[in-house]
């Protein structure tokens, strides 16, 4: 879907880093898809950069337990309106072996995360017709810091880096 912003059309892309709290993604999607916050935005593409452990929890929560379907229902959207599938989960890989990393515990694993996050942000910001929205919430602190740094290096005027804090209620 293409949205209008200041007389310019953009393809809307959302990128998140994630650890073991899949609610980070659902809270961000709720923020943009509900009329309550007046931020109505529909994304054409959603990517989540995570570890194998994060992927397993995300798949279990959003797809097996049906949280994504329940979110769409609560928002009055037809099933499949939010364009996110298991294939949109990007696993951080060991740069030597290519194997998925279970957790970011070593300098090498964090460097792999840094490279992957930076490469994805650069990939989207190299496209003039894309408005990239990303969140610094989720994952280990290093993932959030890497996301913020990547946005400082590659972010453009139309891009948006967010941090959603869900209300207690």
What pLDDT score does 8 carry? 61
- Give the confidence band of 29 by pLDDT, cuts at 50, 70, 90: very high
What is the value of pTM for the model shown? 0.89
The DSSP string of the chain is -EEEETTEEEEEEEEEE-SS-THHHHHHHHHHHSGGGT-----SEEEEEE-HHHHHHHIIIIIIS-HHHHHHHHTTPPTT-S---GGGEEEPB-TTT-PBPS---SHHHHHHHHHHHHHHHHHHHT-TTEEEEEES-SS-HHHHHHHHHHHHHH--TT-EEE-------
For the stretch 48-95, pLDDT in tens is: 999 999 999 999 999 999 999 999 999 999 999 999 999 999 999 999
- Give the confidence band of 2 by pLDDT, cuts at 50, 70, 90: very low
pLDDT at 1 over 60: no
For residue 74, what are the β-bridge partners?
none
What pLDDT score does 142 carry? 87
Tokens of 24: 């980070």
For the stretch 125-163, pLDDT in tens is: 999 999 999 999 888 888 999 999 999 999 999 999 998
Q: In sequence order, which residues have a C-beta less than 8 Å from that of residue 70 and are 6 or more positions away?
A: none
């Amino acid at each position: 879907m293409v949205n209008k912003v200041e007389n310019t059309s953009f393809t809307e892309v959302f990128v998140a880093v994630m650890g073991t709290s899949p609610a980070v993604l659902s809270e961000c999607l709720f923020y943009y898809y509900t009329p309550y916050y007046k931020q109505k935005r529909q994304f054409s593409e959603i990517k989540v950069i995570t570890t194998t452990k994060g992927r397993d929890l995300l798949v279990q929560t959003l797809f097996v337990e049906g949280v994504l379907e329940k979110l769409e229902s609560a928002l009055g959207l037809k099933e499949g309106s939010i364009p996110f599938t298991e294939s949109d989960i990007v696993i951080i890989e060991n740069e030597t072996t290519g194997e998925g990393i279970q957790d970011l515990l070593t300098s090498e694993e964090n460097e792999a995360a840094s490279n992957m996050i930076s490469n994805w942000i650069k990939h989207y910001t190299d496209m003039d017709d894309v408005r990239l929205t990303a969140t610094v919430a989720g994952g280990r602190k290093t993932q959030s810091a890497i996301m913020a740094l990547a946005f400082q290096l590659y972010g453009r005027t139309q891009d948006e880096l967010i941090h959603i804090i869900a209300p207690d209620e």
